[in-house]
Structure 1
Amino acid sequence: MSKDRSQPPRRSPRPRGPRHLPFRPAIERARRFHARQGVICEELEMMSDGLPAFDIARNGAFVRDLAPHLRVHHCLEEGWLFPLLTGRLPGHGETTVNLLRLKQEHMEDCDAASDLGDHIRHVLEDAGDVQAERLAYQTRALFRSLRRHVAFEVEVIFPLAERLLTADDLLCLSHAYDRSEVADAAYLLRH
């Protein structure tokens, strides 16, 4: 029985690149964190839309822990993901500029979350002075900024990481996520 040589031999599909490596869950964990930020943005939007009738005492407590929660994830990105990506990129191109911009946005978002948390604490301590317009403006500015930031990371940075990072890179990132989730949980238990 002779083989038909007019067709190239069939090869089984072979996994290529880091997206098929066992430590891809590191990027999936980052995606899950961003999905949680999306839920937080929805809650912030409901709060902003519902003011002054929104019950801050009952439903606004999540804002108090938002800045520390953001800092944990930002430390992961800035301490692990961004340096790993920078190490895999040739030169100082557009991606390096984008990573620097994202670091700046991290600081701005954490500052805005801290300010909003302080305002919420003030409202809860001084129950009569809500300043609904100011609170709605702060809240809306924060969730819009977070949504824009998260969208860029999900659409640009994560696919880049999936293409460029090696198995060792992803393993390091996965271990960093393990440590940060413990730290984040410990913080939430203390407060």
Structure 2
Amino acid sequence: MYKKTKPRSVMELLNKNLSEREVAAILGCSRNTVSEIKELCRQQGMTWDDIQDMTDDGLYDILYPKKFKRTTNYVPVNYAYVHSELKKTGVTMKLLWEEYRDKCVSEGREYCAYPIFTVNYYKYTGEKNYTSHIQHKPGVEVEVDWSGPTMSYVDVDTGEIIITTYLFVATLPYSQYGYVEATTDMKEKAWLEVMCICLNSSKALL
């Protein structure tokens, strides 16, 4: 396989229901290469939804980790620390990368770009078997939970400051459509009310 082949582009075209032969003709590579990339993504448990935000180079590094290995001068990332911190409420991958970047800058050392930071994290969790790929069918499931730290808001009618509110979050796992609503408590009544609104909103999207 030549380095110029773009695995992300291959998967994008296959996701548009083009045949392997058509994809090969468009990208100027062999049909065997297209088939190989498709199979490697299947082995990694990755669909187009998983890789659409990656770069071609980032995906290539995951599929072909031993080929064209590039030397890097940036400070290695402690992904065990990253994985541990991501379990905390309100911590995101972007915040951890910014923390890593700022530390490198303060020490006058080079740091990796955010896409490399995230791709290498996924490689780390894959090697540790921290993740698994689950197939979802459209319109079958909705995932719900109370999420994040509590918040406050101002009632526009009375001017009263509502000190504590809780975020109800729901996601359609197949489409990744989300629904978020703030409630004043987490009791059964509030749960049922927001669930009804969420389900009605979900039906409108299907």
- State the TM-score, normalized to the length of structure 1: 0.26
- State the TM-score, normalized to the length of structure 2: 0.24
- Ranked by relative contact order (alpha carbons within 8 Å, sequence separation 6 or more), the top structure is 1
Structure number with the higher helix fraction is: 1
